[in-house]
Structure 1
Amino acid sequence: MSVAVQRFTMVIMLVGICACTVVPKPSADISSLWQDQYFQSVPVLDPAAIFALPVEVVREVRLDFQQHLAQQLSPQMWLAQYLSAADGGFRYQDNDTRVAADTFYQRHGNCMSLVVLTAALAKVLDVKVVFQSVQVPPVWDHQGNFNLLNGHINVRLKVAEEGNVYHALATDLLVDFVPTETLRAYRTERIDEATVLAMFFNNLAAEAMVTHQWDRAYALLKVSLSQQPQFIAALNNLAILYRNNHQLVMAERVYRFALQLQPQNLTTLYNFAVLLDSEGRLDEWIEVNRILELERIRNPYYYYGIAQQAYREQRFAEAIHWYRLAIEKADYRHEFYFGLARSYWALGERKQAASSLKKALQLSRDDSWTHRYQAKLNALERH
């Protein structure tokens, strides 16, 4: 099974083909899509708890800010520096969606965690924020049987308005892991807090689905869609959850609902296609295959899968070719370079193997992979 996830919201997407009919958009009432009788009740976070901070944290932040007033920093600038990853204020960690309080204490999380913490601290300092969905190119990841498609979200700290006073040089401050220069190339879309909450709970649901916590995922998706009933990402996750629990009729109902909202949404088309294919509905699958075939080959894990198979079959030169194609699509994935390194090593090309392994080490953010790559690089350099 192949799945993709948008990590600012973590969307799960099964890759495949299907066809659909364009019809008027449905109402926001999605009550017919729920099947509570098939899932155990699981307690989940109250949405109000996402941005909540303990009293002692609020007191600490205000005191810290007051102590830095002598630096003549605006609340926006102080907060931006306080959260700066470059200064050790916050460390990026993938697959780590946290509420504001947990992120404050742990000082790490993904981009959603950073956005939530920033908004919570901004409220403490009476700074207004603007949430933004960033239209970055697809970023792929892989976990177990799931291909994960990552999106991006960030937040702007608004310049304070002081009556009729205009600050000619004042600008909003962007809080993001990604450098501002890089982000300028991408379109942003302003989103409201309800959408952020829908994304947050959909993130948690996708994380639960990866580990097969179906009851928890179902409960989290209900919260997500209660915040934003027409949130396509969560609808896709709900359909996949039904399919993984053998409720194919309900899965199809959710897919069709989502396609009524966005008939050309490729994520939904991919997802629905897997269901059609599994049921042998070949005519429907063929109708749209021409459209979606191009999308399939844009997925770097399509090439990575072929490379892995070639490596297992000891066709190392061929594996190198496919690993390189995967890298052309996603040159930020450490496992692609690791596969390349192994293939070069198998062919006795130690210099290329070492270079590829160093690149894998450079890109790895997870400690377990970093230690593994470092150990292999040390062993390689001893030979």
Structure 2
Amino acid sequence: MRTLFVLACLCLAACTTVPTRQQTDSLLDDAAYGQPPDELQQLNLFAISPAMHQFVAREVAKQMRLHGDSRGLYAAIRTQLHIDYDASTTRPAAQTFITRSGNCLSLVILTAALARDAGVAVHFQYVPGEGSWTRFDGVIFRNGHVNIALDSRKTTVDGRSFGSALIVDFLPSVDLEGLRTVEISERRILAMYMSNRAGENFADGDVDAAYWWARAALDKDPSFSDPYNTLGVIHRQRGELQLAERSFRMALTIRPDNAVVLSNLIGLLTAQGRETEADPLRQTLARIEPVRPYAYLDAGNAALAAGDAKLAMHYFREELQRMPYNADVHYAMAVAAARLDRLTEAGQFLASAAVLSPNLSDRQIYASKLEKLRALSTN
């Protein structure tokens, strides 16, 4: 099975080129992908539901009287909503409020919607270096990270006076001390949302919907490289190889050092026997990212399958250095430790996997396995 790489909620780097409308239009083939999904056509990302407005009027207002504007809003969200981190689906504010769960982007969108209803100014931030890898059915996702800053004063007329801001970050593994952030626009947040939904629909097998979401992201922010890559993955899946190549190359004009896009373009050229064109790209990729994502995890799993748990543990520790907050790696280490009869260590890794899992269903599975392991240890 070939490996495809999709970016989600990822990058902000200095853009070397912003494609023109004519260039982005050359990547599209609307007739091949059905109709836009209803969800996209009805999208209102920051819409406030009656229940959300009531929450602001009652709970947020109460906390604001005690703690001030920004800290009061944060206190109300933290103590009253009991939100779970769940990276499986990106949702608009109103849906996230109902489900009480979401990924970093969903939770930032919800916080912004509540803040605006409460009259608190916000600005959005991309966090370089805080991304993570996830893998689903042969598709590897590079998940970036965003958070939000809440102003301590009421919203200004131009919305740009933030003063001393309170940073709200929903990712458990992030240490806010000394965290480097880059302010991004609401337009970029909207494009990130659309790009995420493209990747999620693609992973679910709905290629038509994925196309329309990626297309919308291009329209919203043509300087954002992620949707070009996603569009390339979609076109390749449909056999539109020229459009796929064009999309990948367009992404590289924006971010020439994007390892994800380079990997996809190399794979596309190699599949067509165009090794002479792929080789220079391989050299570039080797400088940027000498070891591909999940390489050590795959090697460790192969060692486990061959019955060598000790060698597997060696590979898993190498992967842990690269992806310290990846639940799959912690779970693999738990399995290897159990094979080596190190049950206490296995329990520790399994507990970490349960905490770090990016979605609620996997978290519950890991927690169940941990209970069984603990029962085994006490017998």
TM-score (ref. length: structure 2): 0.86
Note the C-alpha offset of 1:55.
3.5
Q: How far apart, CA to CA, are the structure 2 residues paired with 1:362 and 1:199?
A: 26
Residue identity matched to 2:370:
Q
Q: Does 2:40 match 1:45? A: yes
Q: Residue 266 of structure 2 contacts residue 278 of structure 2 at CA under 8 Å; is this kept in 1?
A: yes
- Structure 1 equivalent of residue 52 of structure 2: 57
State the number of aligned residues.
Answer: 364
Q: Residue 47 of structure 1 contacts residue 197 of structure 1 at CA under 8 Å; is this kept in 2?
A: no
Q: Does 2:77 match 1:83? A: yes
Note the C-alpha offset of 1:283.
1.1
Over 3 Å counting, the alpha-carbon distance change for 1:91 and 1:81 in structure 2 is: same
Q: Does 2:1 match 1:8? A: no
Residue identity matched to 2:71:
M
Residue identity matched to 1:280:
G
Q: Does 2:236 match 1:236? A: no
Over 3 Å counting, the alpha-carbon distance change for 1:380 and 1:25 in structure 2 is: same
Q: Could you tell me which of 319, 335, 338 is aligned with 1:326?
A: 319
Q: Does 2:80 match 1:74? A: no
| Aligned sequence identity (%) | 28
Q: How far apart, CA to CA, are the structure 1 residues paired with 2:105 and 2:350?
A: 30
Note the C-alpha offset of 1:337.
2.7
Within 5 Å, which residues of 2 pair with 1:242-281?
A: 242-281=235-274
Q: How far apart, CA to CA, are the structure 2 residues paired with 1:128 and 1:368?
A: 37
Q: Does 2:140 match 1:139? A: no
Residue identity matched to 1:309:
A
Q: Radius of gyration: which is bigger?
A: 1
Q: Residue 146 of structure 1 contacts residue 210 of structure 1 at CA under 8 Å; is this kept in 2?
A: yes
Q: Which moved more, 1:249-258 or 1:351-360?
A: 351-360
Note the C-alpha offset of 1:148.
2.0
Residue identity matched to 1:191:
I
Q: How far apart, CA to CA, are the structure 2 residues paired with 1:218 and 1:55?
A: 32
Note the C-alpha offset of 1:300.
4.6
Q: How far apart, CA to CA, are the structure 1 residues paired with 2:313 and 2:154?
A: 57
Residue identity matched to 1:378:
R
Over 3 Å counting, the alpha-carbon distance change for 1:335 and 1:56 in structure 2 is: closer
Within 5 Å, which residues of 2 pair with 1:124-135?
A: 124-135=117-128
Q: How far apart, CA to CA, are the structure 2 residues paired with 1:186 and 1:298?
A: 26
Q: Residue 357 of structure 1 contacts residue 377 of structure 1 at CA under 8 Å; is this kept in 2?
A: no
Note the C-alpha offset of 1:132.
0.8
Note the C-alpha offset of 1:350.
4.1
Over 3 Å counting, the alpha-carbon distance change for 1:54 and 1:300 in structure 2 is: same
Over 3 Å counting, the alpha-carbon distance change for 1:183 and 1:299 in structure 2 is: farther
Secondary structure of the structure 2 residue equivalent to 1:149: strand
Secondary structure of the structure 2 residue equivalent to 1:225: helix
Q: Does 2:109 match 1:116? A: yes
Q: Could you tell me which of 356, 364, 369 is aligned with 2:365?
A: 369
Q: How far apart, CA to CA, are the structure 1 residues paired with 2:214 and 2:155?
A: 41
Note the C-alpha offset of 1:196.
0.5
Runs of 5+ unmatched residues, structure 2: 157-162
Note the C-alpha offset of 1:118.
1.1
Note the C-alpha offset of 1:178.
4.2
Q: How far apart, CA to CA, are the structure 2 residues paired with 1:323 and 1:91?
A: 28
> Which protein, 1 or 2, shows the higher relative CO under an 8 Å CA cutoff with sep ≥ 6?
1
Secondary structure of the structure 2 residue equivalent to 1:83: helix
Measured on the aligned residues, the alpha-carbon RMSD in Å equals: 2.8
Note the C-alpha offset of 1:367.
3.4
Q: Could you tell me which of 174, 195, 218 is aligned with 1:225?
A: 218
- Structure 2 equivalent of residue 27 of structure 1: 20
TM-score (ref. length: structure 1): 0.85
Secondary structure of the structure 2 residue equivalent to 1:182: coil
- Structure 1 equivalent of residue 202 of structure 2: 209
Q: How far apart, CA to CA, are the structure 2 residues paired with 1:120 and 1:46?
A: 20
Secondary structure of the structure 2 residue equivalent to 1:44: helix
Q: How far apart, CA to CA, are the structure 2 residues paired with 1:287 and 1:76?
A: 50
Q: How far apart, CA to CA, are the structure 1 residues paired with 2:147 and 2:178?
A: 15
Note the C-alpha offset of 1:136.
2.3
- Structure 2 equivalent of residue 14 of structure 1: none
- Structure 2 equivalent of residue 167 of structure 1: none
